[in-house]
Chains A and B, each alone.
Chain A
């Protein structure tokens, strides 16, 4: 059982991740110029933009349903790792790209906090921790 305070921290982190990921969906699905340019540089336009948009939408939904929070956090952190790889390799960090990249870092951090707080419920990890007496 989580203590009330860690539950609150986890939910704040979940909401931060959902709000940040959620608002980019508007641009991704709407085909905003900056978003299209970004995915063109990655050579993923338009399928990759839609696909990643859908996966981010799924992550947001999972993060809000109590029984699937850890799965949402895992998916969210995986997507953000991919985004950060993108910034380091192709997209760069200049100007607006810096803001976008930092948002990805923030979401990754939020998802990591959720995963840490709920580590006992993480698949493949929970039982290994429990047996250490944690």
Chain B
């Protein structure tokens, strides 16, 4: 009891200290700035919180961790507060997270209730966000004791599981995600190997000795592709809303939120819970919450989609709550819950913080400052939205020709901040191209970043695990379970694909007639045994725990029988009722007797369940459990056969089970035979990735053992997965066979979940896309070229003029004003205020007198 009180006092102190630290005016200012930027980025078309966080990261290098996370979390938490504005007013979601808000928000605006809809969405965002922060705060004390039991092998397994989860859930092709993740890990290993000093993939360039910095990689992968697509789609929203509308009905919106507080709690819980599962992104959370509201709210089926405020509340509260949820695995296990969290994880490493146990013990105040940051940011963000709705709404109508030049300048400055060498900019350009191709060819990008961020951790933990435990670390139960899950996840898409090929009507032969006999009895026993196994194993462990802890109240056999009856009987009865095999009360007694019998028969020293220290011993335990289960199954079978009513049902069910299994097996074998390779140009990118991975592995072959072990393992996995993916793509049938409406709806939902990273340029002819993309990257190269001659700030001026006039023929008045304002703003903020160093220029060598100008 005393320990618990002490623990609570310790955490309250840390939370209080964190609050005081965050209340410092400078830090509050950073938090407010982050909020403002988050809102703006959420509203402005084309750039989202992800690209925004990537852009801000380099500017936090000089801050203390509290300020840095206040800024980054301020931005991350509020993008979803701002994005209902375009969703409600224009029917266009500002970000993927508010796609469901459109369904009810836009009809409300059409009815003249824009103010009420917006107000409800801000308020529910606020409540959801604060709920998310509370969830985080509550998780910390729960996770603290757990963290003590995690060693290096477990953390390694968590990192691997994290990457495979993100890969599996974030892309339409999970195998591609895994390949991208492997490439990311390999990218993280570029540079000098910490153990042996081997130079890995440095290509004789000094720039790569310290490893590839994260910032150009992040900006290239996430920010440049968005800009490129902005130029390709040339998005524009026509302005057209009444200012009066926005303020009308605000009070009603607030009241709605308090009336439906229970809905907000439920949807926030969905948001926070789903957010904490690595890989499930924001674009699903709002749909899940909306679906939940649709199912549970009274009368929702009639009013939802026609302007019901509850629809807005559901989706908005969930997408703000997810931020707090996503922070939980990021902080505790170093496994980011989302792509934004992967960037935040990068920020952890940059600021010298190691996610994992340290964050919950040594750096607890930093963790709590994050909780406060998320909560305050949501309150501030909602406040700003209430105050400046009409101004924010105007932001949504910005044209690409106004957004692109400013953002491009900031990206260049940010990328250069990484190591202040030209290599940063080359890396930016290279990864920009790779990122854009990935987006176009539907390769998920988050796993790549995750791999790059977690690569060092994975290598370090793997090295420690191998050094400390040799190969026995693979045998630790938690490790084995996590790795097993990761492997199952990797195999699943392949199996699904084979099944898809086999799922043609004639593939399934008609099931044979009703059979009775030894096979049926045997299958029935095995089924029952499978159900009983896990509860039996748990029983054994519970008894072991009692013996170990000195709480034994009887002989081991008696305890086994008592606990067996308590644990196994309910499970078996539940199963028997679920399958409609028996509803007889006498069955309860039969099951209990069967359990006792099973424990009695197996009470020999050879069949004692071994302690769960190693995964292999656990397997032995499970096998013993299965044996006991078979005895229970046998007794049950005799009992059920004895009674005529249950006998028929049992035979019927077992027959169906056998027929299903045979059909499944046929689908599988037919599908396997039907996979015929077919080539498509989009596979060229897969071949490109394969080439990169292979050449990296070949280069690694000649290194020291300690330097090449992890690259070879990861690279080998990457190549295998890439080949499988290529095979998959080649064999995939061009048209998916859809049988019913329900199936087509199911596939829609899966598309929604999986395609969240696809480009929105699909409606354009390929020629246009390629031409405009080439122009975009042409601009980038020209920008860099001109920058090396005349410096960044003058280049921005030049670029604004040419870009705005050439791309969209903006009015001269606007062009010149914009160019001058942007040049002044950049030189003031980055040169005068932040005093960042600029890349050296040629013109300064020729005319040293010009050096007084910023960036020359």
A pairs with B: no
Chain B residues proximal to chain A, CB less than 8 Å = none
Chain A residues proximal to chain B, CB less than 8 Å = none
